[in-house]
C-alpha cells in the first residue's frame, strides 16, 4: 500500500532524512517513532506530497506521490501535529468546508459529514463552535476532516500530544478502530502508544532508521528496560540539542 524507497531530504547541508526505506501493508498501523528533530515530520510531509524529497520516492497503491500528486493526495488523509481547524466555525460548518476542499461531491457532502462524525464520535458537539471544544474534541474534529473523503491512507503526526490520559486512551482506541478500512502511519515518541496501537514499528534517529519490526518481535529482541533506555536516550538527546 505505502512504499518508501531510499528517501532522503536535505536542507542545504543539513541532512534531515537519510536514505530510509520501509513499507506499510494495507489496513495496518505503523508506528513511526523518534524524538523531536529525528526526521519524522519531514518524512510524513513527503509522504503526503506537501514537500518533495531530495532523493528517493514514495508510492501509494503503486502511484508515485511526486509524479502523480493530485491522484495520490486524494488517497491520503492528513492530521498534522496542530489540527488545521477554523475556530469560529461550528464543527458541522467546518467539516462541510473540509469536504468541499477535498472534492467530495455536493450530493454526498451531508452523508460524508454524518459518517465522519459517527466514526470519531462527535455527533454531540456537531453544532458547537470549535473554539469552545476541549483539546480532545478538537483532535477528534481534526481526525474527522482527515477521513471525510474516505481516504485509503491516514497520516497522523503526534495525534495524542497535549491530551490528558483519558483523552489519550480515547484517541488511541479511535485510531485502532480506523485500521482495516485505512492504512495508518502514526508518528509518536510515546512507547506505550506503539505497544497498544501499532502492528509494526519503525524507530528513527537523526534521519536514519535504527530499528524496524513488530512490537512483539522488538520485545523479544530486547527486554522492556532496553526499549525504555532507547527512548530515554533519544528524548534526552533531543532536549539537550534544543537548549
Residues 6+ apart with CB under 8 A from 43: 4, 7, 9, 17, 20, 32, 204
| 76-79: strand order across its sheet | 76-79, 153-157, 183-188, 29-33, 200-205, 208-213
Look at residue 64 and tell me whether its pLDDT is greater than 60: yes
pLDDT value of position 101: 93
Q: What structural domains and CATH numbers belong to the chain?
A: 2-75+153-242 (3.40.50.300), 83-150 (no CATH)
Average pLDDT over residues 144-167: 90
The closest alpha carbon to 45, from 58, 31, 27, belongs to 58
pLDDT value of position 32: 92
pLDDT in tens, 123-151: 999 999 999 999 989 999 999 999 999 99
Q: How confident is the model at residue 45 (pLDDT cuts 50, 70, 90)?
A: very high
pLDDT value of position 160: 86
3-state per-residue secondary structure call for 170-181: HHHHHHHHHECC
The Cβ-side half-sphere exposure at 16, using a 13 Å CA radius, reads: 19
All cell numbers assigned to 92: 458541522
3-state secondary structure of 9: strand
Global pTM?
Answer: 0.86
Amino acid at each position: 500500500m505505502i512504499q518508501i524507497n531510499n528517501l532522503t531530504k536535505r536542507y542545504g547541508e543539513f541532512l534531515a532524512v537519510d536514505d530510509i526505506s520501509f513499507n506499510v501493508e494495507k489496513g495496518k498501523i505503523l508506528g513511526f517513532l523518534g524524538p523531536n528533530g529525528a526526521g519524522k515530520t519531514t518524512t510524513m510531509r513527503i509522504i503526503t506530497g506537501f514537500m518533495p524529497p531530495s532523493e528517493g520516492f514514495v508510492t501509494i497503491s503503486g502511484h508515485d506521490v511526486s509524479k502523480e500528486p493530485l491522484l495520490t493526495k486524494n488517497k491520503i488523509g492528513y492530521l498534522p501535529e496542530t489540527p488545521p481547524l477554523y475556530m469560529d466555525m461550528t464543527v458541522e460548518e467546518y467539516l462541510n468546508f473540509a469536504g468541499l476542499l477535498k472534492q467530495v461531491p455536493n450530493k454526498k457532502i451531508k452523508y460524508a459529514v454524518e459518517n465522519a462524525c459517527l466514526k470519531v464520535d462527535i455527533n454531540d458537539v456537531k453544532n458547537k463552535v470549535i473554539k469552545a471544544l476541549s483539546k480532545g474534541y478538537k483532535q477528534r474534529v481534526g481526525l474527522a476532516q482527515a477521513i471525510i473523503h474516505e481516504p485509503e491512507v491516514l497520516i497522523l503526526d503526534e495525534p495524542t500530544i497535549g491530551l490528558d490520559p483519558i483523552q489519550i486512551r480515547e484517541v488511541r482506541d479511535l485510531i485502532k478502530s480506523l485500521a482495516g478500512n485505512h492504512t495508518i502511519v502514526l508518528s509518536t515518541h510515546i512507547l506505550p502508544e506503539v505497544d497498544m496501537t501499532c502492528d509494526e514499528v519503525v524507530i528513527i534517529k537523526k534521519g536514519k532508521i535504527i530499528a524496524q519490526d513488530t512490537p512483539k518481535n522488538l520485545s523479544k529482541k530486547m527486554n522492556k528496560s532496553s526499549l525504555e533506555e532507547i527512548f530515554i536516550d533519544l528524548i534526552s538527546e533531543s532536549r539537550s540539542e534544543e537548549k
